[in-house]
Chains A and B, each alone.
Chain A
Amino acid sequence: MTISFNKETFRGDYSFHNSPAAIRRFPFPFDRDEYMYSVNMEPHRATGPDDSVFKRRFDVDEHYLSEMEDRAITLARDPARCQSLPHMRLAGWDLLELIMTCKAQDYPDLFQLTRDGERWRWVNRPMGLDDSFTFLDDSTLPFGPMEYITRQTQGDFAVLDQREGNLWMDAGMVTSQADWSLDFDIGMNFFEWHAPVPRAAEMGIFQRALKFLLNVQQDSPARRLNWTMTVNPRLDTSPETYPEWGPEKRSVTAENVGGRQYLRVELQSFWRLPRSNALAFPIRCYLCSLEDIVTIPKWGRRLHRVIRDLPEDLASYKGFVVNRPLIVDYLSQFDDGQPTSPGIYPD
């Protein structure tokens, strides 16, 4: 498999774009015409068409190199986007091993891992890296193990310590988040970091989700899709930089909404890490503009119905309540009232 990597930006002139193939493989998150917050967890197994984002364990796509450049820019401005409490060192090595092993197996033409006991050699062809190091020896890598590997892997990463029947956000690499701050949330437990989510608590969703996650086993990862809306293809929508991207939210008009407003989908997966018993929680972000989404007729119809009927508090939590009328007006042009087929894939 060869991937041609885009040259594009996620800030400034926002030259990010999806190829027609990238649009078709976009993980559209709605399997029916309505949405309610739920646990919606399933095994993270290879499923779907051959180029599906679910086919490989850590999906690499045309945005890889540009996303990694954007992460480097964000980290240079704010190193606190990547943090690991001292007891999470072993979990960092676990994560490095997991990602290197999976990527080398799933993309042998892009990544290679050679292990000779504790002496490892890692080749990342797209990024032009060829590094040798000693496994479990921090001094042999230019960064800590978690930072080293997540500077080369798309998506945010939370690494959760498991203790006292709870999960603790004790390490992470977070540069493309939907308005939450690792620097503030680090050290919090599952209930604490979810406190701002409306309604889920009263629905008992958190206890169910936590019970499920505490039992995720080695070699049996799980996944779910989450979504929100964002104006412009911006990865760094952190609370830290809200004064930079906040004004853009009010720049949407009836004329530009199709191109400016993006559906932002998170492919969240959950992995038991063997040595540390921690849980790795990659949050991979996919962006697709409304005008690209409506090129798939089923998605255009369905997205209109979902956004139109979403309860006000969820629209508010997901941060697009001010633009909802514009979004619904725009999408209504693409909803002819026809029924939609079940499932998330294009017809």
Chain B
Amino acid sequence: MEPIRKEEIDDQACGSLAPKSKPCPRPKPGEAAGGCSFDGAQITLLPIMDAAHLVHGPVACAGNSWESRGSLSSGPSLSQYGFATDLSNNDIIFGGEKKLKDSIDYIAGRFAPPAIFVYATCVTALIGEDMDAVCKEASDRLGIPVVPVNSPGFVGSKNLGNRLAGDALLQYVIGTGEPELEASMGVNLIGEYNIAGEMWDIEKLMNQAGITLLSRITGDARYKEITWAHRAKANMVVCSRALLGLAKQMESKYGIPYFEGSFYGAKETTYSLRQMAYLLNDREMERRVDRLTEREENRLSHDLRPYRKILKGKKAVLYTGGVKSWSVISALKELGIQVVGVGTNKSSDEDVQRIADRVSDDTEYIPEGGASRIIKTVRERKADIMIAGGRNMYVAMKEQIPFVDINQERHKAYAGYEGLLRLAKELVDSIANPIWKLASSPAPWDKEDSYDR
């Protein structure tokens, strides 16, 4: 098997502690498309399902964004509520701290959440609200954690917001609690957000292998479980760009080893499970994992046979946002799909290296956003399908290009062995759909040859 993690760690990547030469790139006016840091912070923290998430600012930051993410919950749904301090003109002139305090009290009194996350926005940061102090005071008075998240939109990109949310977890949450059960064999999953329920497929596999999932950071998480994340024996970073820094800091602060892995594709899934068992340093567990992965891989390759037949030799253009391109490439390769173009705008240098290891030499790299660029690649390379995020979905539809959604808004889970099967089915259903033929043929009266009379 090819090694996934190179020994030298690129500490200048965006997700690292101290970005030196290459920080998160500055968004370009007039050419930028992605979300802001506030968006990024919410993506990371909203999957903590039982907590209340209060946005301190004018209403639209919350109003335009609540209920827009596909993180599923197995129980509590308080994080689906949209809370906003809804600042008015006067609040901005005279300060919104009083309103923030009242809002926190109101939420604590009515919903009794285990914790409240309070998000700064551009406006509250600009007028200099002392959110940390309000949160600390409320926290002391109410006896529940009130966590300030200082990630207003204008500090930078979405990725930076992910990182700042990780910092908030590290500073205020991780290490403040102790696990209920013995955690000697526990693993944390970092940067897995349970989009479309992917976490549940992963959890099932881990359970089958006897690996304890200690803390979910943060897909379908409960606040409490994150407080004891520092007791884990290993960390797995699922989305590297976002929370690698968190894993690095946990390594230096608590001595928890980490690895970067993925659950897209059978190979990567097997590798990730093996790596967990290896880091937990348990021979018996390693054997169990081997048996499990072998059985699952065999079953999968049997189930995949009919799909592989159709997908073999098909060409795809891949343009992911949050999901790591390289791991999806592995998954597609297993299905016999050739990736002829791949987006790299959100990949760290390390990720780009991993992509290069997995694609052929003539694959086109698409360094920056812009739907026209993606479509050009699809056309030039004669790709059969476009795999990208929801933002580009309707662009593809207009161009009548088969499309599979891979980002946070998607409705299907593609992780693990089951997930690869689902992905294969989705790809086949999309490519083989009758609509492509129907849409591309003209109306009868527009056809060139006229009726023979």
Partners in one complex: no
Binding site for A on B (CB under 8 A): none
